[in-house]
């Protein structure tokens, strides 16, 4: 009884009351600080052009944005990632001859697909065949595989949540409800060279020429059975170092 009386006397002291009031008082934030906090913890939408890009190198950056590794508040156990929208996935480029030799374990839904290869009790399909069937499948598989390489200790069920924020499109036709959310763009890794069709006539006219062909110059093949009017003389052979051994 004496102990309870002492506790009640200490509880009604003025210094304890002021401490409780200070703790319960809410912290007033300015509008600037409030918006800044929303921007830090909010999810951004990133856009990336996959034209002439290596899917494996691009998957490193894509996976980093999906997990939020580019943010200062990144925590592997918290979901701080952003959305990533990739377009022109049908124009990705694999190095060397990997379109032919890189295999993917893919189930088509049919038993014993005639073009799939049976290796080590599994059915494997080349990359070029899967790309012709689904232009976005190659990029998706590279990103899905890189989740394990980048974050091996925190994967598992978390990988499905991060991968669900990835949006892939075979061309540049992106829906309007997705484009209205874009807040930034991811820079391409490999430089994209311009094709000859992309140059205008003015740029082609200013381009330096090695030689100028005449107007009547033709590179078409000669019709079969037609005999040339002029006699074709063999070109003189240039002397080589092997002539001394003859």
Domains observed in the chain: 43-96+134-193 (3.90.1180.10)
Q: Is 232 strand, coil or helix?
A: coil
Q: What is the tens place of the pLDDT at every residue in 68-98?
A: 888 888 887 788 889 999 999 999 999 888 8
Given a contact cutoff of 8 angstroms between Cβ atoms, the answer to whether 115 and 133 are in contact is no
In this prediction, residue 114 carries a pLDDT of 47
Compute the half-sphere exposure of residue 10: CA atoms within 13 Å on the CB side of its CA: 6
In this prediction, residue 25 carries a pLDDT of 56
Q: Is 66 strand, coil or helix?
A: helix
> Cα(7)–Cα(29) distance, rounded to whole angstroms?
36
Given a contact cutoff of 8 angstroms between Cβ atoms, the answer to whether 123 and 106 are in contact is yes
φ, ψ at 140 (rounded to 5°)? -65, -40
φ, ψ at 46 (rounded to 5°)? -110, 145
Residue 99 has pLDDT above 80, yes or no: yes
- Average of pLDDT values for 114-121? 50
> Cα(64)–Cα(68) distance, rounded to whole angstroms?
6
Q: What is the tens place of the pLDDT at every residue in 16-74?
A: 555 445 555 566 778 778 887 787 888 999 999 999 999 989 999 999 999 888 888 88
Structure tokens at 117: 């290869």
- Between CA 194 and CA 203, with CA 197 as vertex, the angle to 5 degrees is 75
Mean pLDDT, the chain, whole residue set: 77
- Between CA 210 and CA 218, with CA 213 as vertex, the angle to 5 degrees is 135
Phi-psi region of 14 (alpha: psi -120 to 50; beta: other; left: phi over 0): alpha
Q: Is 105 strand, coil or helix?
A: strand
């Amino acid at each position: 009884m004496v102990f309870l009386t002492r506790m009640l006397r200490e509880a009604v002291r003025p210094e304890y009351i002021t401490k409780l009031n200070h703790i319960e008082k809410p912290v007033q934030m300015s509008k600037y600080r409030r918006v800044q906090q929303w921007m830090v913890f909010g999810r951004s939408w990133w856009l990336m052009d996959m034209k002439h890009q290596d899917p494996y190198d691009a998957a490193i950056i894509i996976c980093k944005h999906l997990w939020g590794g580019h943010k200062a508040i990144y925590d592997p156990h918290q979901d701080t990632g952003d959305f990533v929208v990739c377009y022109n996935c049908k124009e990705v480029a694999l190095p060397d001859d990997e379109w032919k030799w890189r295999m993917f374990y893919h189930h088509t839904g049919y038993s014993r697909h005639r073009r799939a290869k049976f290796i080590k009790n599994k059915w494997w399909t080349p990359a070029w065949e899967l790309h012709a069937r689904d232009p976005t499948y190659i990029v998706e598989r590279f990103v899905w595989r890189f989740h394990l390489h980048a974050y091996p200790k925190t994967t598992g069920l978390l990988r499905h949540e991060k991968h669900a924020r990835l949006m892939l499109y075979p061309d540049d036709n992106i829906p309007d409800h997705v484009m209205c959310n874009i807040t930034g763009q991811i820079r391409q890794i490999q430089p994209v060279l311009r094709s000859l069709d992309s140059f205008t006539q003015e740029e082609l006219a200013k381009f330096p020429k090695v030689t100028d062909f005449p107007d009547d110059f033709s590179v078409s093949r000669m019709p079969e059975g037609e005999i040339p009017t002029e006699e074709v003389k063999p070109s003189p052979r240039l002397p080589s170092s092997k002539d001394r051994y003859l």
